């Protein structure tokens, strides 16, 4: 299974892993699972840090090593991802979530999220955390 983390799930894994249920942590730690994080999450964390809405400086400064330590792969945003994100006929205005969902659709990934709009939209398989 390929699992794409929503940004808040990544943040919880880094700073508050007990926020996630043991079953979800087990699925993410399963050696047969490939866990991914979108470049959109780095963009979102950087933006919210710049605006003072999040303290993400340490995570951003150690991005590659944090992902490696968690066995998480970095997923770049391609033009096809951006085009699909912009074209989705889905009532979700958050551009970061739109990119994450578009990436999951294009790659048949499961999105790990607690976002109600992503879960309700069911545009891609989801893992409710």
Two tokens, residue 47 = 């933006």
pLDDT at 25: 94
Secondary-structure breakdown of the chain: helix, strand, coil percentages, each rounded to the nearest 5: 55, 15, 30
Whole-angstrom distance, CA of residue 47 vs CA of residue 64: 18
Q: SS3 for 64?
A: helix
State how many domains the chain has: 1
CATH of the domain at 54: 3.40.50.1010
pLDDT at 122: 73
Tally the residues of the chain.
Answer: 129
Please name which of 40, 33, 28 lies closest in space to residue 2, comparing C-alpha atoms: 33
Domain around 51: 2-128
Kindly report, residue by residue over 82-116, the tens digit of the pLDDT.
999 999 999 888 999 999 999 999 999 999 999 99
Residue 109 DSSP label:
P
What pTM, to 2 d.p., does this model score?
Answer: 0.94
Kindly report, residue by residue over 15-60, the tens digit of the pLDDT.
999 989 999 999 999 999 999 999 999 999 999 999 999 999 999 9
First to last CA, the chain: 16
pLDDT at 121: 85
């Amino acid at each position: 299974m390929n699992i794409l983390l929503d940004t808040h799930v990544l943040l919880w894994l880094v700073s508050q892993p007990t926020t996630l249920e043991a079953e979800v942590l087990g699925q993410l730690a399963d050696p047969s699972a490939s866990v991914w994080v979108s470049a959109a999450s780095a963009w979102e964390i950087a933006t919210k840090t710049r605006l003072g809405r999040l303290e993400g400086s340490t995570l951003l400064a150690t991005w590659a090593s944090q992902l490696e330590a968690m066995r998480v792969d970095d997923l770049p945003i391609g033009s096809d991802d951006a085009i699909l994100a912009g074209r989705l006929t889905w009532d979700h205005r958050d551009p970061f979530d739109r990119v994450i969902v578009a990436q999951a659709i294009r790659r048949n990934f499961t999105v790990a999220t607690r976002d109600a709009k992503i879960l309700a939209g069911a545009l891609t398989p989801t893992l409710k955390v």
